[in-house]
């Protein structure tokens, strides 16, 4: 058992037969009375997210999840394929378990969580670098404005970038939102 005050983003636990991974954690203490713990969790079997609330001192069932750094190889319509760089074993992960699969980049290393031999989730870095493959011509002198234009990245994602970005340049993209972060 683990105390709900020890839950943080990325921790996996079990409740009512469901495997839940914490997405966000908030500790709320108001005046008198006990504190409340509000968390947003992702159901690892269904992929749905929900919010839960616990009183301070509650406990949940701990799950021992093993994490491995695996190299992404390719994907098809159903699975994404990863390779263990130490043993060269290939592991397939159902794309339903990877809602951000459009950010998978060949050759990149990703942290994959396992329960036994079953892959549960793939953790993405908060920002990744992608090359711009299509956008309108850049406009000189617009480096400090808040005006954006559409761009297509090497992974096929459409995002808005500042006017000074041109084709072939690399940019950092926030993997949580898909938005432009900065020039790489």
C-beta of residue 38 within 8 angstroms of C-beta of residue 53: yes
Give residue-wise pLDDT tens across range 26-80. Answer: 988 877 777 888 999 988 877 788 999 988 888 998 888 888 999 999 999 899 9
Domains of the chain are 2-62 (2.30.30.30), 66-123 (2.40.50.140), 127-183 (2.40.50.140)
What is the full DSSP assignment across 26-53?
Answer: EEE--SSS--EEEEEEEETTT--EEEEE
Supply the pLDDT for residue 139: 65
pLDDT score at 145: 61
Model confidence band, residue 81 (pLDDT cutoffs 50, 70, 90): very high
Tokens describing residue 124: 């993405």
DSSP 3-state of 157 = coil
The pLDDT tens digits of the residues spanning 121-178 come to 888 888 999 999 998 886 666 555 678 889 999 888 899 988 888 899 999 998 888 8
**Which H or E run contains 148?**
strand 148-153
Q: Is the pTM of this model over 0.85?
A: no
Assess contact for 35 and 29: CB atoms under 8 A: yes
Residue 145 is given by DSSP the state -
Rounded-to-integer distance, Cα 45 and Cα 25, Å: 21
Q: Give the position of tokens 């970038």.
A: 161
């Amino acid at each position: 058992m683990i105390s709900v005050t020890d839950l943080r983003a990325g921790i996996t636990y079990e409740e009512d037969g469901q495997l839940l991974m914490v997405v966000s954690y908030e500790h709320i203490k108001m005046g008198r009375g006990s504190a409340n713990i509000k968390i947003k969790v992702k159901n690892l079997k269904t992929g749905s997210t929900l919010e839960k609330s616990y009183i301070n001192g509650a406990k949940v069932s701990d799950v021992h999840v093993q994490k491995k750094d695996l190299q992404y190889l390719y994907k098809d319509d159903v699975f994404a394929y990863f390779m263990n760089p130490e043993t060269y074993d290939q592991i397939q992960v159902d794309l339903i378990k990877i809602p951000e699969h459009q950010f998978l980049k060949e050759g990149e290393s990703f942290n994959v969580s396992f329960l036994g031999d079953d892959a549960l989730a793939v953790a993405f870095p908060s920002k990744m670098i992608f090359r711009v493959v299509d956008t309108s011509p850049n406009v000189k002198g617009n480096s400090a404005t808040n005006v954006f234009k559409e761009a297509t990245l090497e992974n096929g994602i459409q995002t808005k970038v500042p006017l000074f970005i041109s084709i072939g340049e690399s940019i950092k993209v926030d993997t949580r939102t898909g938005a432009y972060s900065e020039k790489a």
